[in-house]
A and B are shown apart, each in its own frame.
Chain A
Amino acid sequence: MTSSKAAAHPGPVPVVAPPGTETVRLAWASSLALPAATLLVAVLVLVAWQYLPPALGVPRFIIPTMTDMAAEMGRMWRQEDLLTHLLSTASMAAIGFVAGGILGAGCGYALGLSPLWEKVLSPYILALQIAPKVAFAPLFIMWFGYNAWPKLIVTVLVVFFPILVNVLQSMKTTDRDLVNLARAYSMTRAQIFWKVLFPASMPNLLAGLRIGATLAVIGVTVGELVGGSIGLGYLITYGEGQANTAMVFDAIVLLTVIGIALYWMVAAAEARILHYLPKVAG
């Protein structure tokens, strides 16, 4: 119960506890003390946010108070069709994440199975990986127009590479003796892939998906900021044009919530899939 309350107030630092990391410290903290401490930090930050800027004489159009933001959130809900924007951004992030994940993983496995192509293509992969993908957004708008495609493509690109690189890494580092064992059992290449290489890549794939989940929101946001008429990124530029700081803050908060939701879904899947690893299970 307490932990779900803590989750409702995401601060700038995600309060997501990666599974397993806190087990060592649980010696002093009973199961309730830790979530209570996390909740306390959230309350302190929110209270400071509410009272500190006015006390220091910072005007509300620079840093809006919590109550301003709550009021603005209500106004956006009623007058700016907030739900449509929220759902648009969330669905774009989710679709881009899934598409980028499938493409990235697919290419990672394909390159992992063909070392020759991996060697031929690796400099280009590196170059594309380093190139700032969000900078392509204006280009995609010129090519595809002011619709959903540019932001979707940016999101797919942003998600694609960390997953590709992680999967490829796993394919290259899987224990050769495991592969030899499968070969000695006269398994076919397809059997070796599905019974050894693919399951062995799960930890890396999920690590890639975790990174991808956080990047997906960035991709969508940039796409919406650059050219869009819908979505939370659009609300940010709109709020900026009206000097409505509270609106910008609210949109940022909601974007963070979408990112955390995506991340949690991956983390939950990971906990289920990687149950056989002592760290995650314990």
Chain B
Amino acid sequence: MNAAVSQSASPVELKPRPEAQAVPEPQTKATPALSFDGVTKRFANRTATPFTAVEGLSFDIAPGEFVSIVGPSGCGKSTVLNMTAGLDRPTEGRVALNGEAVTGPNVHVGFMLQKDLLLPWRSILRNVEFGLEARPIGKAERRERALRELARCRLQDFAHHYPFQLSGGMRQRAALARTLAIQPDVVLLDEPFSALDAQTKLLLQRSFARTIHASGVTTLLITHDLSEAVAMSDRILVMSERPGRIVEEMDLDLPHRDDPIARQALPRAREAIAHLFQSLHLAEREA
């Protein structure tokens, strides 16, 4: 019965809860690369009562923008990702890529998880080709594109290695090459650095920041690491506990988007982290 409402063009009418009004309505200039309009996702559970993962989510991401979503665990960050990738449908509201509603897995989105998800039986080159194999392109072009992405991620010397022969950081770079090889409009990164040791993490963040900056692709990073969000993004969306809502939006306006290590040294970056820390009420909470 909500079908008629969700078809409506005006996002304001869709707001299911008055408190969602607190989120400043983004004034869209061009068509956003990714937009959520009053998106609610409820999961029907056979055993327990159905639970609401996210509620009344509305935000836009401009083409080329790097946006991070931070929030406590279980705030439905991964639900946002799955709905963008078309693996899940919103219960209410609308998810759109370049103005077109997402109805299923599509060619515009590439995603990456904490796990590299490289196929162990394929060489790195064949892994990068994997995403292109569902596309109607020739073998030669596929190989050429895969090699180009490997070069961009500085892995060309490891094209014929197998995943087990690479370090964790290199495997994540290979996964990024595979994600970029399909030339997506939007890249979704779900905690891609959280399984790595502190040093590898810093280096890989820089490596990703450079590669993403150079490719100009729109990026949505989901993370629980506040300093990572500040170091890498243009804008940060803070989500509340379940049901996940956006409780704060933070425009960073900091230099060095292509160098998180340099950015983290800035005093203003530290202020931003402290501010996020407060807005998540981390000081008053217990583990």
CB contacts (< 8 Å) of B105 on chain A: these are 183-186
Assess whether B119 is in contact with A186, with CB atoms less than 8 Å apart: no
Q: Could you list 8 examples of A-B contacts with CB < 8 Å?
A: A178-B117, A184-B87, A184-B111, A185-B130, A186-B134, A191-B133, A200-B121, A202-B121
Return B184 CB to nearest CB of chain A, in Å: 10
CB contact between A177 and one of B113, B120, B131, B163 (< 8 Å): that residue:
B113
Q: Is B11 an interface residue (CB 8 A)?
A: no
Q: Is B164 an interface residue (CB 8 A)?
A: yes
Q: Is A123 an interface residue (CB 8 A)?
A: no
Q: Is B143 an interface residue (CB 8 A)?
A: no
CB contacts (< 8 Å) of B16 on chain A: these are none
CB contact between A185 and one of B115, B119, B131 (< 8 Å): that residue:
B131
Q: How far is the CA of A43 from the CA of B191 in the complex (A)?
A: 59
Assess whether A184 is in contact with B109, with CB atoms less than 8 Å apart: yes
Q: Is A84 an interface residue (CB 8 A)?
A: no
Interface string of A160-198 (1 = CB under 8 A from B): 000000000000000101101101111110010001100
Q: Which of A178, A180, A181, A199 has the most CB of B within 10 A?
A: A181
Q: Is B107 an interface residue (CB 8 A)?
A: yes
Assess whether A276 is in contact with B133, with CB atoms less than 8 Å apart: no
Contacting B at CB under 8 A, from A234-282, are 275-278, 281
The 3 A-B residue pairs with the shortest CB-CB distance, nearest first, are A278-B164, A185-B131, A187-B134
Assess whether A195 is in contact with B133, with CB atoms less than 8 Å apart: yes
CB contacts (< 8 Å) of B134 on chain A: these are 185-188, 191
CB contact between B106 and one of A177, A186, A187, A277 (< 8 Å): that residue:
A186
Q: How far is the CA of A199 from the CA of B163 in the complex (A)?
A: 15
Return B50 CB to nearest CB of chain A, in Å: 21
Return B128 CB to nearest CB of chain A, in Å: 12
Assess whether A185 is in contact with B113, with CB atoms less than 8 Å apart: no
CB contacts (< 8 Å) of A187 on chain B: these are 133-134
Assess whether B121 is in contact with A199, with CB atoms less than 8 Å apart: yes
CB contacts (< 8 Å) of A202 on chain B: these are 121
Extra 9 A-B pairs, beta carbons < 8 Å, given A199-B119, A275-B162, A276-B163: A177-B113, A177-B117, A183-B87, A185-B130, A185-B134, A185-B182, A186-B106, A200-B121, A277-B120
Return B176 CB to nearest CB of chain A, in Å: 13
CB contacts (< 8 Å) of A175 on chain B: these are 115, 117
CB contacts (< 8 Å) of B221 on chain A: these are none
CB contacts (< 8 Å) of A185 on chain B: these are 105, 130-131, 133-134, 182
Q: Is B243 an interface residue (CB 8 A)?
A: no
Return A253 CB to nearest CB of chain B, in Å: 38
CB contacts (< 8 Å) of A188 on chain B: these are 134
Assess whether B115 is in contact with A277, with CB atoms less than 8 Å apart: no
CB contacts (< 8 Å) of B115 on chain A: these are 175, 177
Q: How far is the CA of A108 from the CA of B186 in the complex (A)?
A: 38
CB contacts (< 8 Å) of B117 on chain A: these are 175, 177-178, 181
Return A278 CB to nearest CB of chain B, in Å: 4
Q: Is B85 an interface residue (CB 8 A)?
A: yes
Assess whether B86 is in contact with A276, with CB atoms less than 8 Å apart: no
Return A77 CB to nearest CB of chain B, in Å: 45
Q: Which of B117, B122, B134 has the most CB of A within 10 A?
A: B134
CB contacts (< 8 Å) of A186 on chain B: these are 105-107, 134
CB contacts (< 8 Å) of B121 on chain A: these are 199-200, 202, 276
Q: How far is the CA of A196 from the CA of B131 in the complex (A)?
A: 12
Return B145 CB to nearest CB of chain A, in Å: 14
Q: How far is the CA of A26 from the CA of B115 in the complex (A)?
A: 34
CB contacts (< 8 Å) of A278 on chain B: these are 164
Return A188 CB to nearest CB of chain B, in Å: 8
Q: How far is the CA of A175 from the CA of B113 in the complex (A)?
A: 13
Return A276 CB to nearest CB of chain B, in Å: 5
Q: How far is the CA of A180 from the CA of B109 in the complex (A)?
A: 13
Contacting A at CB under 8 A, from B141-191, are 162-164, 182
Return B15 CB to nearest CB of chain A, in Å: 30
Assess whether B119 is in contact with A178, with CB atoms less than 8 Å apart: yes
CB contacts (< 8 Å) of B113 on chain A: these are 177
Chain B: CB-nearest residue to A196: B119
Q: How far is the CA of A200 from the CA of B106 in the complex (A)?
A: 24
Assess whether A276 is in contact with B164, with CB atoms less than 8 Å apart: yes
Assess whether A277 is in contact with B130, with CB atoms less than 8 Å apart: no
Q: How far is the CA of A183 from the CA of B117 in the complex (A)?
A: 13
Q: How far is the CA of A177 from the CA of B119 in the complex (A)?
A: 11
Return B199 CB to nearest CB of chain A, in Å: 23
CB contacts (< 8 Å) of A275 on chain B: these are 162
Q: How far is the CA of A186 from the CA of B102 in the complex (A)?
A: 13
CB contacts (< 8 Å) of A178 on chain B: these are 117, 119
CB contacts (< 8 Å) of A281 on chain B: these are 164
Q: How far is the CA of A186 from the CA of B105 in the complex (A)?
A: 6
Chain A: CB-nearest residue to B123: A276
Q: How far is the CA of A96 from the CA of B176 in the complex (A)?
A: 46
Q: How far is the CA of A188 from the CA of B136 in the complex (A)?
A: 13
Supposing A186-B106, A276-B164, A277-B120 touch, asked if A195 and B87 sit within 8 A by C-beta, the answer is no
CB contacts (< 8 Å) of B119 on chain A: these are 178, 195-196, 199-200
